[in-house]
Chains A and B, each alone.
Chain A
Amino acid sequence: MAAEYIVTVMSRDRVGIVADVSRALAGLGGNITDLSQTLLRGYFTLIISVETPDDVTDARVREAVAQAGAPGEFGVEVRHYEPPQAAEQVSTERFVLTTRGADRPGIIARVTAYLAEQSINIEDFYAHVVAGDLLMVLQVAVPSGLNIRQVQREIEQVGREFGLSVHLQHENIFRVTNEVRLLRIEGGKS
């Protein structure tokens, strides 16, 4: 086992896609080490990390996965896995950005452009339109050196440009209110 690939599959949703794709990878001697799937408006995407024997090329992986579906059914992308560079692993704290307001073109572009300017990485993103209102929930990694108050003020200002209510809050508030196990706060005397 030496080759490591990241594989994405996109298609219309139906029952059995993961079964078909994983059977194809198993047929190559591959072992899936990570997997995440998402459904959106009847479309399906899958991202997989897979280890294969040395002699399995990216082209063979792509062909095997594509042939696991009906002709033309799957859009498949295969990349060699490259671990993150040490320099990229800056210290961050996880915050949650939530927005709500009337949907208009350009909102996501503007909000994410601001985050990119601040080197704030988006780790999870959910956006959904309900009754004309765009709801966004982003889990973001805020570099520890940033002044969080300033970021909050600026992102709220970005929201106001579009008439959105915007809140940027540390993730712990969501963990303690939704997880049964008690979060331990470091540094307290008790």
Chain B
Amino acid sequence: MTGTVAPGRVERPPSVIGGVLLMWVRALTGGFAILTVVLSWDSFVGTIVVNGEKLARSDPQAAGAVLGWLLAAYGLYLVLYLGLAVLVFTGHNWARVVAMSFASVSILLSFADYALNGAQITLRTSLVSVTIDILILLALSSTQARHYARAARASRA
């Protein structure tokens, strides 16, 4: 049903498939954010502040470089994240643990912001990304997903 990459006789549970799909959605929204920045490059370059001063005013080239590096780093992270999703899909337990750790850190940071700083988490702000993170964590921490990763490891050994 789910392709030939399934290790051994273990069938890939829906929670793993759902979790990996959500990881892809998360990465794609990141890619969309990069696209948005690139399309309105100038206005974003203008927002870069170093030592309390807008960098674009004193050194427009440096500001562009900073933004470029930031985007490149984020893009690299997204690519690695997509790779991680593939490894989760093929049943690598460490990849599942790393993915759950990413989701947990992101959730806990959002929660700290919400509980301590009273940040509003709504559809207009970060509700969608928080929802996706929580769903990823729920899916990948499920008993099915755990058994799948363990069984896949056993069949590789």
Q: Do A and B bind each other?
A: no
